[in-house]
Amino acid sequence: MTRRLTAAQATIAYLKNQFSERDGKQFQFLAGCFGIFGHGNVAGLGQALEQDPEFRYYLARNEQAMVHAATAFAKASFRLRAMACTSSIGPGATNMITGAATATINRLPVLLLPGDIFARRNVAPVLQQLESASTQDISVNDCFKPVSRYWDRIQRPEQMLTSLPEAMRVLTSPSDTGAVTIAFPQDVQAEAFDFPEEFFKKKIWAIPRNRCDEHLLQRAAEWLRAAKKPLIVAGGGVLYSQASEQLAKFAEATGIPVCETQAGKGSLSYDHPQQLGAVGVTGTPGANIAARAADLILGIGTRYSDFTTASKTAFQNPAVRFININVAEFDAYKHAALPLTGDARATIEELQSATQGFQVEASYKNEISDFRARWEKQVDRIYAPRHAQTVTQGEVIGAVNNFASPSSIMICAAGSLPGDLHKLWRTKQPGGYHMEYGYSCMGYEIAAGLGAKMACPDRDVYVMVGDGSYLMMSQEIVTAIQEGIKINIVLLDNHGFSSIGGLSRACGNEGMGTNYRYRRGEKYDGEVLPVDFAANAASLGAWTTRAKSTEELATALDAAKKQPRTSVVVIETSYEDRVPGYESWWDVAIAEVSEREKVKAARKDYEQAKKKERLFF
């Protein structure tokens, strides 16, 4: 039995019948398709989507943003579900490349279906085609290759029979997932083929809980029993494995303290007795002091980014050893670790059985309790209103955190907010902290709020975004309004790129190009640009208001929650008053030669700090 369909129609018919399964629960893996149509996909995939409304289509406003929304959907779904995205050829396709990089770096599944130039070539060069004098087998879609976990170009309709299953294999793989790109020539999309009916039957992709090697597990248990100051670094893999409950039990049984990466924050509730909070460049004092002294690091689902390792300076104990639990062998071996390559939840359970009866010493427990108590007092101090003319970022975070419910999701990605949120946001439930900090892509935030709310319609979604990111990409507010999706946006207006301005001054410079001011002569040091963010958001259809104090912010949040549509609360914050870093360092190379004395001094400090960087063999 066969069914005659165009390649595009067959693609949609196949995708809507793909399901994931884990722990006996099934999910329709692809929940729909974001798209913006042009001549490269409107007559192919556009026609197929219009003909088959069971596979829901969502109209986006920017191709990069729709990939961000799809990425956030997958992250909020703990990688058990995903979204497809389709674009036309040319700029529509290349707009998706940044989104593809964001997804792949963060190990999150998205399916990209960019239109492509004619496979038959006879009408080349078509509109928006990139020509090459050395080959005809190239288009701008080749740019997706380095940022995709799987890439293919379809030259004949029947190639979908082998390409789509491979795409699904990668998308549902815990270790290999990321952006999957299938470049789809516009003429091939519309060509018909007699596809076998069996191709369209329901397919269940089992997401396994792979077990690690038993011999290595027993050795890891021996290492843990011998450790005096072990420390767990919880990464995003804990959340994607849905292993928070197992981690809590293991930490409680052993007394081993837990610190969290940006992707792993929320693995444990902030008030768990073994919770030390954020680690690394954006970490808490207790977590970073514990990391510096630890004689054993148990990394669970972390890829050890430079922000987690403080540019390889975080772990200073000469005798420190690493055990890594990770589904990806590539990450399991990092830092010359004992690799427990397997699912986080299954491996934590087995490791707890293998270490039954082990507990850290009472003195270490007391040290952890003291770190926790001192940090909570510090957070309370930062949260407390100062009643100054301009509120601080820490005060805003405190006001929103105090207002939000335990199940709320906080979303952010770039600027100075990620550092402060990593330290300060009190997360109670897994998935309640949604930070894109693998690529730290400005413009991710509002689109991500849309995707996260689509994945978790029963949870309140708060998007915290700076004025810089808002100006880069805010148009998906229109998509949220059109779809009737409610997200709560808190826009912090500090009149510039505060994060990079601070970094510039730390490097001995003066923050050039980081203030939103009129140009006066050679510098941007005139009056502040009068951008009316509330009016801008209102013009896109959002309910908007302004707040000037934490008290007004609390009132505004309450009013926004009662609104049926997406809301934007704008509050001006201090450009310079920031939450400091604690017990950490980040390697940002400083000019070796300069006429500025401040740069020379910063270079001297830099050379001294670099001496603490370590490699493990």
Residue 466 has which token pair? Answer: 């700076």
Tokens (6 digits) for 347: 């491996």
Residues in the chain: 617
Average pLDDT over residues 560-579: 92
- pLDDT at position 181: 98
pLDDT (0 to 100) of residue 500: 84
For the segment 135-175, what is each residue's pLDDT rounded down to a tens digit?
999 999 999 999 999 999 999 999 999 999 999 999 999 99
Is pLDDT above 80 for 414?
yes
Report the alpha-carbon angle 279-282-287, nearest 5.
25
SS3 2: strand
Provide the edge-to-edge strand list for the sheet that holds 57-59: 57-59, 30-35, 82-87, 110-116, 179-185, 150-153
User: CA 111, CA 106: separation in Å to the nearest integer?
Assistant: 14
Residue type, 230: P
DSSP state of 42: I
> In 326-388, which ranges are continuous DSSP H helix?
329-332, 344-354, 362-383
Q: Tell me: the pLDDT tens digits for 523-564? A: 888 888 899 999 999 999 999 999 999 999 999 999 999 999
Instruction: For residue 344, give the nearest of 166, 227, 208 by alpha carbon.
Output: 208
Task: Please say if the pLDDT value at position 206 is more than 80.
Answer: yes
Where do runs of H (alpha helix) occur along 273-313?
285-293, 306-309
User: How many other CB atoms are found less than 10 A from the CB of residue 359?
Assistant: 13
Neighbours of 460 (CB within 10 A): 17
Q: What is the DSSP letter of 440?
A: -
Q: Output DSSP code: residue 523.
A: B
Directed axis angle between helix 244-254 and helix 344-354, to 10°?
20
- Residue 97, phi then psi, degrees to nearest 5: -65, -40
Q: Are 32 and 12 in contact (CB under 8 A)?
A: no
**What's the token pair of residue 229?**
């100051």
Contact 305, 282 (CB under 8 A): no
Q: How many CB atoms lie within 10 A of CB 120?
A: 12
User: What number of helices (H) and strands (E) belong to the chain?
Assistant: 24, 23
Backbone angles phi, psi at 607, to 5 degrees: -60, -35
For the chain, list the domains and their CATH numbers.
2-206 (3.40.50.970), 214-374 (3.40.50.1220), 389-572 (3.40.50.970)
Amino acid at 298: L
Whole-number pLDDT of residue 522 = 83
* Residue 538 main-chain phi, psi, to 5 deg: -65, -35
Q: Which residues contact 554 (CB under 8 A, 6 or more apart)?
A: 399, 402, 403
Q: Which of 579, 610, 578 is nearest to 592 (CA)?
A: 610
Cβ(295)–Cβ(319) below 8 Å: yes
DSSP 528: B
Tokens for 375? 């940090």
Q: How far is CA 313 from CA 108, 229, 292, 502, 609, in A?
A: 28, 18, 8, 21, 9
Angle formed by the axes of helices 362-383 and 417-424, to 10°? 130
Which residues neighbour 407 within 8 Å (Cβ) at sequence distance 6 or greater? 428, 429, 432, 458, 459, 460
**pLDDT value of position 615:** 94
Mean pLDDT of 461-486: 96
Q: Is the dihedral of CA 237, 239, 245, 247 positive or negative?
A: positive
- Is the pLDDT confidence value at 325 over 90? yes
| Cis, peptide link before residue 109, omega less than 30° from 0 | no
Q: Kindly report, residue by residue over 32-74, the tens digit of the pLDDT.
A: 999 999 999 999 999 999 999 999 999 999 999 999 999 999 9
510 pLDDT tier (thresholds 50, 70, 90): confident
The pLDDT, as a whole number, for residue 521 is 85
Percent of the chain beyond pLDDT 90? 92
- Of 464, 459, 472, give the one whose Cα is nearest residue 557: 464
Query: What's the Rg (C-alpha) of the chain?
Result: 25
Q: Is this structure's pTM higher than 0.95?
A: yes
Structure tokens of 134? 């050395």
Q: Token digits for 145?
A: 């290759």
Beta-ladder partners of 465: 491
DSSP 8-state secondary structure symbol assigned to residue 299:
E
Residue with tokens 């207790």: 286
- pLDDT at residue 576 is higher than 80: no
Amino acid 179: pLDDT: 98
Report the distance separating Cα 74 and Cα 57, nearest Å: 17
Q: Which two tokens stand for residue 83?
A: 């979204």
Using CA atoms, how far residue 267 sits from 435, 457, 495, 546, in Å, is 13, 21, 34, 34
Q: What are phi and psi of 167, to 5 degrees?
A: -60, -45
How far apart CA 282 and CA 237 sit, in angstroms, is 19
Angle subtended at Cα 292 by Cα 291 and Cα 297, rounded to the nearest 5 degrees? 40
What pLDDT score was predicted for residue 514? 83
Dihedral of alpha carbons 426, 429, 434, 435, sign: positive
Question: Confidence class of residue 461 from pLDDT cuts 50, 70 and 90?
Answer: very high
Here the tokens at position 210 are 């792979």
CA distance 35 to 66: 7
